[in-house]
């Protein structure tokens, strides 16, 4: 028997040749929260940020939505997690906003990588072998997971 369940969903929509929109939502027994981010793909910056809280446990929670404004101008790059936490989290924010914004940012990364590599449509990746895709990903995602590992540690090894 489930004691609790939480669903986080993120979708990416192209709104122009150089902008994507990210929709990120959280739904559980206590929360129904939506965040919308517009990202300029060339600069990798968040240019618009908004959200709504349809259901939250406390009235004061709604005040944290004002912090989404602080995301404007933030570049999606290494270290963005700390910047998102500082902008919308901690004792003046909401941990759930941090969670759904970061889910959106993580999903945006492959689209930004593709755009930076001249791949404007996800289907274009199919022309590359798995190894070529991994090498391309390492340029932007080095050491973020096993596939993009750049070093095998002591004793050297395959890169």
Domains by residue range for the chain, with CATH: 6-120 (3.30.390)
Of 118, 112, 121, 82, nearest to 98 (Cα)?
82
The H-assigned helical ranges of the chain are 80-88, 95-116, 130-141
Please state the φ and ψ torsions of residue 139, each to the nearest 5 degrees: -60, -30
Q: Write down the pTM of the prediction.
A: 0.81
Look-up of token digits 């596939």: 147
CA dist 58 and 63 (Å) reads 10
Q: What's the pLDDT score for residue 34?
A: 98
Is residue 49 predicted with pLDDT exceeding 90? yes
Q: Give 113-117 contacts, CB < 8 A, sequence gap 24+.
A: 113/137, 113/139, 113/140, 113/141, 115/18, 115/41, 115/42, 116/44, 116/140
Residue range 61-99, pLDDT digits in tens: 999 999 999 999 999 998 999 999 999 999 999 999 999
Chain centroid offset of residue 149 CA: 20
């Amino acid at each position: 028997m489930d004691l609790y369940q939480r669903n986080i969903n993120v979708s990416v929509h192209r709104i122009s040749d150089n902008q994507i929109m990210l929709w990120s939502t959280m739904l559980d027994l206590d929360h129904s929260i939506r965040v919308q981010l517009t990202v300029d793909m060339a600069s990798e910056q968040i240019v618009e940020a908004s959200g709504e809280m349809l259901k939250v446990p406390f009235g004061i929670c709604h005040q944290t939505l004002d912090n989404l404004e602080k995301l404007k101008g933030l570049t999606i790059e290494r270290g963005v997690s700390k910047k998102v936490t500082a902008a919308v989290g901690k004792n003046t924010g909401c941990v759930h906003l941090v969670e759904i914004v970061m889910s959106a940012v993580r999903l945006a990364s492959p689209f930004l990588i593709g755009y930076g590599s001249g791949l404007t449509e996800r289907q274009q990746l199919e022309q590359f072998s798995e190894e070529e895709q991994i090498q391309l990903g390492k340029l932007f995602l080095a050491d973020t997971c096993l596939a993009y590992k750049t070093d095998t540690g002591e004793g050297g090894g395959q890169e």
